[in-house]
Structures are given as C-alpha cells and as structure tokens.
Structure 1
Amino acid sequence: VRLGLIMLLIRIVLAEQNTGVIGWLQYVGLQNEQMTNLAWSIFAGILCGIIASCLTLNPQKLYWPTATALALIMVASLLDSQSNALTRPEQLMFSQFLLGFGSAFFLAPAMLAGIGGVFADPRNLVSFSVLFGMSQNIGGLLGSAILGTFQTWREKFHSSQLADQITTLNPLIVERLQQYSQMYQSQIGDSTLLNVQATTLLQNAATLQANILAWNDTYLLTAAISAGTLVWVFWRLIRLRLTARIALKRATGSK
C-alpha cells in the first residue's frame, strides 16, 4: 500500500508536464512545431533516466532511486515556478529534462520492490498488477484534475487581486493606458474608441499576468507534494534502519 501511494503521488506531480508546462505554452499561443526541442529534451531525460536506473539499480536499496527522482522533480518544479511572460520552451528544457529523468528513474526500482513481494508469495501477483496499474492510471488522471483545478482557482484569485489595482488613481496604470493609446493613435482617430482599445489591452495583460502567477503557484504545489513525499520516504528509510539496528542488537544480546 505504501509503495502504491508513493507511486500515486509521483504520478500526480508528473502531471505538471502536460497540465502545467505544455498547457502554459499552448495558452500563450505556441504550436506543436514550436515545442519540438522541448519534447526532445523530455525524451532525452527519459532515456538518461532509464540508462541511469539500469546502471545503478540495487535490490538492497530500492528506496534511494525514488528519493532521487522526487528530489529532481522538486528542483524542476521550483525552476518552472520562476516563469514569466517571456518564458518559452528554451527556458524550460532543463527543468523538463529533469522531470523526464525522474519519471523514468523511479519506475524500475518501484516495480522491482513490488515484484519482491510476488516472489515471496506468488498470490501477490494479481494484487501487485492491480496496484501498479491503478497508481499509474489514477495518478495521471487525478494529477491533471488536481493541478488543473488548482490553476483555475489561483487564476481567479490573482485576477481579483490585479483587478483591485487597476484604477485610474494609480499613476502607473494611467501611464500604461497612455502607452497603449499611443500604439493605436495612428489607426484610431476617435478618442473614445482609443480609450476602449487601451483598456482592453490592459485587461488582456492583467489576465495574462494572472495566469502566469497561477501556473507558478501550480509548480510550487507540485514542488510541495514532491517535498512532502520525499520527507515521508526518508522517514520510512530512517525507521527501517532503526528497526534493523534494534533487531540486530537484540539478536546479538540474546547470544
């Protein structure tokens, strides 16, 4: 059950790639052709994760790859949380490489940990298969739902905060409206229509900024989930080590 829960949490945070980064880039108008290099960086991360997992896999230390993957996912999410209106695929390639690496690096050890229970009792095969499949499928769906809902909620919050600041009493707002008016002054002669156009552009800019802040909050959420899961894994490792040490002392004392 603990293994399934860890895998479920990892799948939730990995939903950041589709719901977060890809969703953000599509929101700002990028097409699939413009995200080709980003896709290649994710593929390279997955490939490197598989190779690293094969080279470092140790049946006696199956929790460490999971901890490493969680740490990488947390770092990637923190990097993505620094996004702004000028962020494009080139600035996201390293963080998405880390996410791809982490998604592949933990998978083999997690499967091996579950298969260990199957070897101990073949009747666990069905339970492991169901647990693994459910954690991957439900985790992906649940992750997209949670992150998507959270992003929408934070966008509404930031939109409300920004709307309160958009007032003609603010000299910065007045200056920005004047800049927008000057941009279309040669195309629109009517002053009323010009003011409407400037106001519309300002509202669009505020909506864009609200979405940027909301996506950054979503990345921070995935980082927090990764950090919480990582702490749980370390607590589990420390507990197992202490239990083994106490058992060894008792066995030594009994002799």
Structure 2
Amino acid sequence: MTGRIWARAAGLALAMVLSGCSAAGFLNTVTSRSGYETVRDVRYAPGARGTLDLYVPARATAQTPVVVFVYGGSWDSGSKDLYRFVGQSLASDGFIVAVPDYRVYPEVIFPRFVEDGARAVVAVEKLAREGGHGIPAGRHKLALMGHSAGAEIAALLAFDARYLEAAGSSASRVSAFVGLAGPYDFLPLTEERYKRIFPPAVRAASQPVNFVSGDEAPALLVAGLDDTTVNPENTRSMARAIRAAGGEVEEVLLPGIDHIGAVSSLATALPLGDRSLRRTVLTFLEEHTR
C-alpha cells in the first residue's frame, strides 16, 4: 500500500473510531498502559469540564518536560478521555503530558474556552513546581500543543500574552508550541454556528495570527494537504507571520494527510497517518525542552 493510500485509510479508520460510541474504550484497549502512570480528573477549575488527565512517565525526574495538549472539537465538543493515545505517545518518549477538558459552546463562547486553557496551564505549572500526582517537584520546561480548535486555543495562549498573565503565569515560560491542523487565520466566518461562538466584537481577537510579535517560543506548525476541515492556508499564514516578525518556526505540510491524520499520526498502538510525523514532533519538543 502506498504512503498516500495508507494515510487515507488510516485517517478514515481513526475517524470511525473517534465518532463511535465506544471510542474511549477502544483507544484504551489498544493503547499501552505500561511505562507511565495515568492520573484522571485532576481538578483545575469548577464544573464538569474543569479537570485534566495526566500521563507521567515512570522515570520522570525534576527536569522532565511537560506538554499540555489541547484537543479539538470545533469549540463545541470533545473529551480528554479520547486522547490516551496522545498521552501515551508523548509519555513513552519521556514527556509528562496534561490533557485538559475545557468548556465549550453553547455553555460558553469565545474567549471563555481560552481562559479555561490558561487556568489549566497554570494548574499544571503549579503541580510541576510543587510536585504531586506523580510529578516530581522541580524545574520542568513547558510546551503547549493542540490539534484543530485546540491548536487555536493553545496558539492564543502562546502568542497572546494576556491569557496566561491574567491566570497568573506568563507566555515567556512557554518553551515550545506545536500546532496540528490549527485554525489561526480563519476569518471571515461563513457558518452561523461559528458566528455565534465568535461574536463580531471579539472576532479579531480570536485569530492567533494577529498576535505574532516574534518574541514567542519556537513553533512547529503541521497540516495535511488533504485537510478539508481546516484549510492548510491557516498554517501557511501563521508561518509567514512568524517569519516576518523574526520568530522561529518550522512549517510541515504533508501530502496525503487529512484533518484527523494530523493527530492520528501520533498513535503508537496503531500505525495511523504519516508515521514520520510523530518523530518530527518529538524531535522538535526534545530540541526545545530538554
């Protein structure tokens, strides 16, 4: 099977899995549980969606880097329970991983879910600094990572300093940003649902591309050229803005990869998507957080 056909088939397989009623059970079944500790439902904010899951490598030390991964779901859906495969993938390479839930539409609109992301990051920083839930207290470098709508949230945390500052931290503490199939420059809006999620008065503030200064952490931006959910031009536009501002960015555009494939490629239990992408992500994280 050629790489392009394999990527399409693999992406379709994971899309079917993630859309099924037993998605979490399936992923929990096929993803390894060895070599790391899972800590569920660590509280960072009030409410049903104010918790996060931790994946802590068995050999974590006071210097083990921490990655906060923000999942996607069009800002109106998603669950941390579906992303054990991401936690395991990064933890197996020696990263502590936090996957937070956050409030979504119609409970909230922009920028509330970004504010939730900031609170989650600050809670993880506190755990890393003071220790707890299996994380040794120490000096842990921090990386932010997201897929789809989660990449927009994580990018705003990395590039718009106001969110982490308001939550009691600083964007200067972010050592690396990884965006997978992210919407960074997605105006004008055409769907009524998105117009409700992003009201006109705050629409410009929802675009990470508007906050690039060149002083941010190095960024790895990944998109599949077969993505019909988030136009890969978002990745190109964000990369251009970072380069124009003098920042550091790696831009990876993958033929034969669709929207789901940009995250399914991280899985280790099943060889889904582009099998080189996981190593690209890990190499980037290792370079900027070790």
**TM-score relative to the length of structure 1:** 0.28
Q: Which structure is higher in strand share?
A: 2
Q: Which structure is higher in helix share?
A: 1
User: Which of the pair has the greater relative contact order for Cα pairs under 8 Å at 6+ separation?
Assistant: 1
